[in-house]
A = this chain, B = another copy of it.
Amino acid sequence: MKNIFFNAHHSPAGAFATFTLGYPDASGGFGIELGKPADHDVYVGLESVDGSAFELLPFFDDHNAGRERERYEVDAATHADTSSTAEGHLASDFIPDDSEPWITGFDHEQIRRDFQVGSDTWSAGDLTFTIHTSMPAIPDPDTASVDALRLPLLPAVAVEVTVDNRGCDRARRALFGFRGSDPYCGMRNIVGPNQIRGVGQGRRVAIMSADVDVRPGLGFQLADILRPKHPEDLDFGLGICGALTFDVPAGVVRTVRFAVCFYRDGIATSGLDGRYYYTRLFRDIEEVGAYALDHFDELTLASREADAVIDNSNLSDDQRFMLAHAIHSYYGNTQLLDVDGRPVWVVNEGEYRMMNTFDLTVDQLFFEMKLNPWCVKNVLDLYVERYSYRDQVAFPGEDSLHPGGLSFTHDMGVANVFSRPGYSSYERPGLHGCFSYMTHEQLVNWVCTAGCYLAQTGDWSWYRKQESVFRDCLQSLLNRDHPDANHRNGLMGLDSSRTRGGTEITTYDSLDASLGQARNNVYMATKTWACYLALEAVFEHAGEVGLAQTSSEQAERCAQSIVASADVDGRLPALIGEGNTAGIISAIEGLVMPYYMGLSDCISPTGRFGALVRAMSRHLRAVLMPGVCLFPDGGWKLSSTSDNSWLSKIYLCQFVAREILGIDGADITRNADAAHVAWLVDQKCGYHAWSDQMVAGHALGSRYYPRGVTAILWLDEGSRESKQEARAKTFVYHRNRNRKAKPVAAQPAA
């Protein structure tokens, strides 16, 4: 049995908000803009059949109860023996009672969870608790009407609580509530128009319902709300717990609808002054709740439709779980801002909260292209406008500088602070490891992301706006290979002057040099090859014959360099020509790009780059071995020399292995996936929802993270023919492009 008590995000789109739930104790709750769970007590429960107790799902901490009142009742707190006060009765009214034995948790064994991408359903005894989210496609705010934006950008999550009281001859009370943690504002009851009732904290988070007879209540502890001595006690403003309760008559099944709502008022970011886009659509959290409850059917329908996307796939149970889990975490990190009327799309980086980290953008690309291609363009544009820079480059160990060129920053800021133009929050000079510059990686990422965007949307009007950027990117890539065209090998050979004597790193910043060093890295090489292919295709379409030709030649040089580096067993060294012979799975990563740009011939073992594709197959087979790139449990180890392996990249490489290289089997799928699932739901790691950096199977970094949506690629796997057909429909670029010159990246292979 898989452990079901892991946290998952349940999030609207673009609100950087989450109802996180699933890990035991006060480990979930209602978070806005946090890099971790809010650690609220979340109360979901039902009175027992005999009325003697309340049984709750295990998402609260008994030890939190009862302490609050001590701050007010100084005498009572200091006189445990009440007889020592003169009159006794005053102090004894409120001797703190830490434990209410009639508030208990359901036995874990009694609890079932059905975790899907849209719905997450907990059931125990006669109680069922479902959180509904979906995978909304957000219309481009620049062209969509306000009405069309309200539902997809609604900062709320739908929740249903069902009580089956058919087996009971008395009414039973059920509850849904929480204990907040906002440092600035108190808890409150909400009594709105249209019968809306709610509990919330300040103006930021709230649970609301419009169902009849749902009662809001506040108290120092949950017990005060469930069994108030007087109805007025429910309005106790000093309460730090809030819950909505309702009664279910004997013999009936009742479902009550709740909206979990979020609202962050005012200007939320600095550097660029951004407010949440939803603040244009809803005046305050009450309006959010009213809209959500008024459109509840649409929300639950969207949840079911999301479930169906994965239900109708050919994925295994393990795959379904990981894809769903990753999508939950992705939405929790999304943030749509309004900066002086302009929409700005941000994906925050999980526990680190860096904004639009570019090496995540390039991986989340495949997910966003399916739902919100305009978000991809939005990010690319802001990178050009504000987060691009020009540098010089140097050979390792040399001081003399050569022309460099255009590149892009690692990120756009951190934790709602946009960094200054031309600089990320992350990169620093003089380093060889973590926090060094990722100049080449982000240059490649811009081109690959832009190439996919163009290929799949055919948005050539955008290309024309960014034409010079594409040209500058090519020149920058060339300069980073070798200042002398005759010595170019397609690989990155020089480091940015911004490193000030350091060395550039890759996205794998916390790994050793096998994946961490950018220069001559075979992971970077394959992505660079893909990048040249993108430029070739784009320039070709644009009639830039010379630039297309240059790009084509560089792609071929790069492929040759990679192929030539293989050892006698077919293994490619992590660092080409640098003596680092670690084996890295990520060598194959870049193959995904031509696939999604529709450049099928380029990834065919018999096509234009057949030698490279075959080299990749041989390499992967060589390293995907126990003790090399497989952990003892069957999980994938991205580098043979590091225990730090990243799930998002594993997902991507699994796709490449199966769909492009045709390598499948237990290692690729069943054994590995079982191990990966075990990592995620591990009793320690499960707190962090979906996490990326797994050190020997333990989530130690990149936790609470959005990047796992690379698993969306799995949905595109299948029989080659049907997939080709699907792609032919999807890949607008490929369909529309006006082919010229030589047929690089030509027809999809039959």
Q: A185-B417, A232-B429, A416-B186 are in contact. Are A86 and B238 (CB under 8 A)?
A: no
How many copies the complex holds: the figure is: 2
Is B420's CB under 8 angstroms from A235's CB?
A: yes
Kindly state whether residue A722 has any CB partner on chain B within 8 Å: no
Which A305-322 residues sit within 8 Å CB-CB of chain B? none
In the complex the two chains form, is A230's CB within 8 Å of B414's CB? no
Known: A71-B701, A510-B74. A433 touches B86 (CB 8 A): no
Given contacts A76-B510, A416-B202, A642-B75, contact A428 B236 (CB under 8 A): yes
Pair A582/B86 contact, Cβ less than 8 Å: yes
Cβ of A270 under 8 Å from chain B: yes
A265 on interface, CB distance cutoff 8 Å? yes
Any chain B CB within 8 A of the CB of A203? yes
Query: Is A27 part of the contact surface with B, judged by Cβ < 8 Å?
Result: no
Interface members, chain A 383-423 (any B CB < 8 Å): 413-417, 419-420, 423
Chain A positions 431 through 454: 1 when the CB is less than 8 Å from some CB of chain B, otherwise 0: 111110000000000000000000
Instruction: Tell yes or no: A87 within 8 A of B by CB.
Output: yes
Q: Are B415 and A186 in touch, CB under 8 angstroms?
A: yes
- Distance, CA A233 to CA B417, complexed state (A): 17
A271 at the interface (CB under 8 A from B): yes
Judge whether A560 is part of the interface by a CB distance below 8 angstroms: no
Contact with A238, one of B270, B426, B429, B701 (Cβ below 8 angstroms): B426
Query: Is A93 within 8 A of B432, CB to CB?
Result: yes
A505-529 contacts to B, CB under 8 A, are: 505, 509-514, 516-517
- Smallest CB gap from A273: residue in B: B284
**When the two chains form their complex, are residues B78 and A700 in contact, meaning their CB atoms are under 8 A apart?**
yes
Nearest Cβ distance between residue A575 and chain B, in whole angstroms?
9
Q: State which residues 2-34 of A face B: CB under 8 Å.
A: 32-34
- A193 near B: Cβ within 8 Å? no
* Neighbouring B residues of A32 by C-beta, 8 Å: 184
The answer to whether the Cβ of A90 comes within 8 Å of any Cβ in the partner chain is: yes
Which residues of chain B are within 8 angstroms of A87 by Cβ–Cβ distance? 512-514, 516-517, 580, 641
**B419 contacts A237, CB within 8 Å?**
yes
Q: Is A644 on the interface with B (CB-CB < 8 A)? A: yes
Within 8 A of B (CB), among A57-84: 69, 71-78
Contacts of A426 in B (CB 8 A): 237-238
Contacting pair B72 A352 (CB below 8 A): yes
Return A397 CB to nearest CB of chain B, in Å.
13
Sampled A-B contacts (29; CB under 8 Å)? A69-B434, A71-B351, A73-B433, A73-B434, A74-B644, A75-B642, A76-B433, A76-B434, A76-B510, A78-B643, A78-B700, A85-B512, A86-B512, A86-B582, A87-B513, A87-B641, A89-B433, A89-B513, A90-B512, A94-B434, A185-B415, A186-B413, A186-B415, A203-B267, A203-B270, A232-B428, A236-B428, A237-B425, A266-B267
